[in-house]
Chain A
Amino acid sequence: MGAQDKPGDLVQGTLDMLVLKTLHQGAMHGYAIAEFIQETSNHVLRVEEGALYPALHRLELRGLLASDWGVSENNRRAKYYQLTGAGRKQLAAESERWTLMTSAIALVMDTA
């Protein structure tokens, strides 16, 4: 369990945050999450499946996500993830931290 708390593991932490943010709008399956992030970032961010699913499962194990089986838009059984209360709180905390961080970085970058 300690892996996701490692300091400096920015990519990992960022992916988690992006997943939480994506699910803020409602329940989604893994493929849709990957597509959403890719589309929304104008294909700048590419989500690797090898990282996405472990991240989803890890978040679920941490109690930030809940999962359930549902039927997809093309009538197939798919596993849908949605935020839990703890997940929502975590998202708020991460967003705040992100805003703080980016503005701080921007300050440094703009000054130089």
Chain B
Amino acid sequence: MPHERIIALWLRVKALVHRAKLERDLDEELAFHLAMRAAKLGGGPAAHLAARRQFGNPARLRETCRELWTFAALDTLWQDLRYAVRTLAKTPAFTVVAVLSLALGIGANTALFSLADVMLLRALPVKNPQELVQFVRTHPDGAMMTNLPYSVYTSFRQDRSTLADVFAFWASDLALRSGGATDQATAHRISGGFFPALGVNALLGRTIAPEDDRPGAASRVAVLSHAFWSRRMGSDPAILGATVRLSDEAYTVVGVMPPGFFGVDRSKLPDLWIPLAAGPAAAQAWVLGRLKPGISAAQARVQLGPLFRQALEKELERAPSRDRQAFLSQKLLVNPAGQGTADLRWRFWKGPSTLKILLGLTGLVLLIACANLANLLMARAAARSREIAIRLALGAGRWRIVRQLLTESLLVSLSGGALGLLAAVSCHGAMLGFLIRDPQSAALDFRLDYRLPCVALALAMATALVFGLAPAIRATGAASAGALNGKSRQRGAAQIPLAKGVLAVQMALSLVLLVGAGLFARSLRNLGAADLGFARDRLLLADVSPSAKTPAARQQFWTRLMERLPQLPGVSSLALAGDAVFGNGGWNQSVWIERPGQPARETHVSENHVSAGFFAAAGIPVLAGREFGAQDRENAPPVALVNRSFARRFFGGDNAIGQRFGDRGPASSGRYTVVGVVGDAKYGTVRERMRPMVFHPLSQEEAMDSLVLHVRSAFPPAALAPSIRREIRALDSDVLITEVRTLPQEIRGQLRQDRMFATLAGFFALLALSLGAIGIYGMVAYRVAHRTAEIGVRMALGAQRSDVLWLIMRETCLLLAGGAVLGVPAALAAARLVKSLLFGLGPSDPLTIVCATGTLFAAGALAGFLPARRAASAEPALALRSD
């Protein structure tokens, strides 16, 4: 028996493949039979007719045989599919709108899923990633910091009971000298335990071993990342043993890592790895470890607590000027790091974060697309009620028709899903560009994995089932007799309340998106136009690190730089500073302010070291006193400038000149004399509040090894960049010049996410509004078509065109009002969630809400007005005769 089954299955599969041949064979076999019979009956037309009569119904026979040969279920599915394609092709407008709106909804969600997946969910490609933890600290004010004092690492190494492994690394940008040019290279300086703990092997050569990282006897070895090896070394297989010069030290290349390895920090792919002990003593590090089996993160936190505290106390001994209380109240956190370090997760998932807002946006879009689909399907089912009733009357099973309708919605959703998947895959780059400043350097693997199609498929199937089943059941359910005997009007009307409800919800969701788009757009405009306190136009910044080793040589470099650059055409003013005027925010510093007759007052401020001419170049006004000048030499009395906030808060307004403060403990409070007050400015971000800041002259400090060049140019500053680079290189061929940027570029970079939200929300809102308008248009047109006779009667009895217009428009207006009643509270609630991202306006900004609601009404009313006007301009006589 099983043997027979196999033969039968095989024959059927063959028949499935050679379907046309099977049909031909059957026809030919039957035709042969008929011909033989006719010949036997004497030939001629009469005999043929007789043969046919005797034969019976050939179609039925063919049907029976065909059923024998094929898989019946598959066949009806095929039939349903072909029928669905045919009926969908007959209404291209419906199909295109439905498929595209779903493609948008599914595509947006799929793209977001893949973003979240690569940034947050995917496990690190290392040994047992689920065991990895990262140690971080929290400040009493709630801030989380991933950098720990290096002594935390050394004290954690003494632990024997909690950790199976502990390792540390620190990212540094080093000057890489090769082929006569000097470039910046990102090195991860790692402890010897790094590679063994991760359990990864090199592609070529070896990784860095614990022996390479012995303090005092470190070997200068380097392991290259695959990307760096192929980009900079041309994938040279003979690279092992070669020398690279990093910040003027020679390192021997001992290995190259495989392409998928990026370390533990997904957000930045290092160029190479070198031992920690090979460089200058590390002050801080990122610390990770592997927990011993059976130890939970919470247990580890408790058990390592004393070691953490001990390390902090050791730090305090080294730098006693710190705020002891605040420093010691820092807490240790043990975070799972199986998916990578907490950095990306923190930036994109904590609080009202980027990914959550994107999730909200795309979720809304999918909901709207689904509501739209449900509406379209309902309208379609209503329009086909007569056809369905006839089929039911002719004996079609209800389930058969439901299945048929479901096949249609499934086809629409799957096409939408497929299209959405394509869109998601192709817009990866763009989405990432919005989120991350430099996507090239992030180790985010965007290869399409099997889960992405699965997500798209699941979304599509769920949409089809949830939003296709109800209309299908409704369409086949209600007493179908009415549809046949000319009462289809009432039947159609029965569908209207639900359709209107769905439309109102759709409009409410659109309103949420409109309000969001308005808030983000207005916030973005406010951010772009915010007063930063300095002149942002035509300001060029560049980070410059000379190769000189001694302070004297560096001083000479800086002095000559300041002499040469002003001679370049286009340079109108020029200054150096330890930190950029905007973008970083200065260094945090504790200061003690001298108060006559009282102990010094301790406070935290930000500070920067600047050259003479800085305030002129940056465009910050000097409000009182003087700027730094030639008189502020190294051995002259130390001076400082403070900003207006500092002067107001600590010196009570305008008598700041001549006051004193210090930055080396309470006894130092007489160290600096304030010689001037400058205007307030924003130093870190557009969003920050004005805060106290102090400035010291560079000329009273030992020459620094890296400064930020500020150039105010007479023409667009990007054009000036090449000649500035050339001039600086002429002074020092090994100089490292990084991050040449203009101030507008810096600001644009900061507002990347704000722009993304404004753009996406605006785009989605527009689409949602269009879909809603199409829905309203369709519903009103349908209603009008079914009420033509009634309108004719009304007009014949004396109703004016405006009465008819109002009769129809009233319905649209009620629907829109319903949408607004639902939508405004929903939008207000949603806006509160993004409150912290708004700038210069509140989440319940009345103007935005009024404008959004107005836009919704305008679009909806226009969509309803077009068919209503047509109805109102109908000739009563014609209208009466219709239907």
Q: Mark A residues whose CB is within 8 Å of B.
A: 1, 29-31, 34, 48-50, 53-54, 57-58, 60-63, 69, 72, 74, 76-79, 86
Contacts and interface: CB of A to CB of B under 8 A. Distances in A.
Contacts of B3: 63, 86
Contact of A50 (B8, B32, B56, B69): B56
B389 to A, nearest CB: 33
B763 to A, nearest CB: 56
A63 B37 CA distance: 28
Nearest to A58: B68
Interface in B1-60: 3-5, 7-8, 11-12, 25, 28-30, 32-33, 35-37, 39, 54-57, 60
24 contacts: A1-B8, A29-B32, A30-B29, A49-B30, A49-B54, A50-B57, A50-B61, A50-B64, A53-B30, A53-B61, A58-B68, A61-B8, A61-B11, A61-B12, A61-B68, A62-B7, A72-B32, A74-B39, A76-B32, A76-B35, A77-B32, A78-B32, A79-B25, A86-B4
Contacts of A30: 29, 32-33
B28 A77 contact: yes
B65 interface: yes
A53 B33 CA distance: 10
Contacts of A63: 3-4, 7-8
Contact of A31 (B8, B11, B37, B69): B37
A5 to B, nearest CB: 10
Chain B interface mostly:
helix
Contacts of B8: 1, 61-63
A57 B168 CA distance: 76
B65 A57 contact: yes
Nearest to B15: A61
Given A54-B65, A57-B69, A61-B68, A49 B4 contact: no
Contact of A62 (B4, B25, B28, B55): B4
B20 to A, nearest CB: 16
Nearest to B40: A35
Nearest to A29: B32
A53 B4 CA distance: 20
A23 B25 CA distance: 20
A54 B64 contact: yes
Contact of A54 (B7, B33, B61): B61
A63 B36 CA distance: 27
Question: Across chains A and B, which 7 residue pairs bring their CB atoms closest together, nearest first?
Answer: A63-B7, A31-B36, A50-B56, A61-B8, A79-B29, A31-B33, A63-B4
Contacts, number: 68
Contacts of A31: 32-33, 36-37
Interface centre among A29, A49, A58, A76 (most CB of B within 10 A): A49
Nearest to A90: B4
A58 B11 CA distance: 11
A12 to B, nearest CB: 13
Nearest to B30: A53
A102 to B, nearest CB: 27
A76 B61 CA distance: 22
Contacts of A34: 33
Interface in B77-124: none
A54 B66 CA distance: 9
B593 to A, nearest CB: 97
Contacts of B32: 29-31, 72, 76-79
Interface in B207-258: none
Contacts of A61: 7-8, 11-12, 68-69
Size bracket, chain B contacts: 20 to 34
Given A48-B56, A50-B57, A53-B61, 11 more contacts: A31-B36, A49-B33, A50-B64, A53-B30, A54-B64, A61-B68, A61-B69, A62-B8, A72-B32, A78-B29, A86-B3
A100 B470 CA distance: 60
B30 to A, nearest CB: 7
A15 B65 CA distance: 16
Nearest to B3: A63
A74 B35 CA distance: 11
Nearest to A49: B55
B131 to A, nearest CB: 56
B36 to A, nearest CB: 4
Contacts of B57: 50
Contact of B29 (A48, A53, A62, A74): A53
A60 B69 CA distance: 10
A30 B26 CA distance: 12
A72 B28 CA distance: 13
A86 B69 CA distance: 20
A80 to B, nearest CB: 10
Contact of B11 (A49, A60, A72): A60
A61 B35 CA distance: 26
Contacts of A29: 32
Interface centre among A61, A76, A79, A86 (most CB of B within 10 A): A61
Contacts of B30: 49, 53
Nearest to B68: A57
Nearest to B25: A79
A34 to B, nearest CB: 8
Nearest to B37: A31
Contacts of B12: 61
Contacts of B65: 53-54, 57
A48 B35 CA distance: 16
A49 B69 contact: no
A37 B447 CA distance: 68
Nearest to A52: B33
B272 to A, nearest CB: 68
A110 B7 CA distance: 44
A23 B39 CA distance: 23
B5 to A, nearest CB: 8
Contacts of B11: 60-61
Contacts of B25: 69, 79
Contacts of B56: 48-50
A8 to B, nearest CB: 20
Contacts of A48: 56
B28 A54 contact: no
A60 B14 CA distance: 13
A86 to B, nearest CB: 7
Interface in B703-755: none
Interface in B816-845: none
A1 B2 CA distance: 13
A54 to B, nearest CB: 5
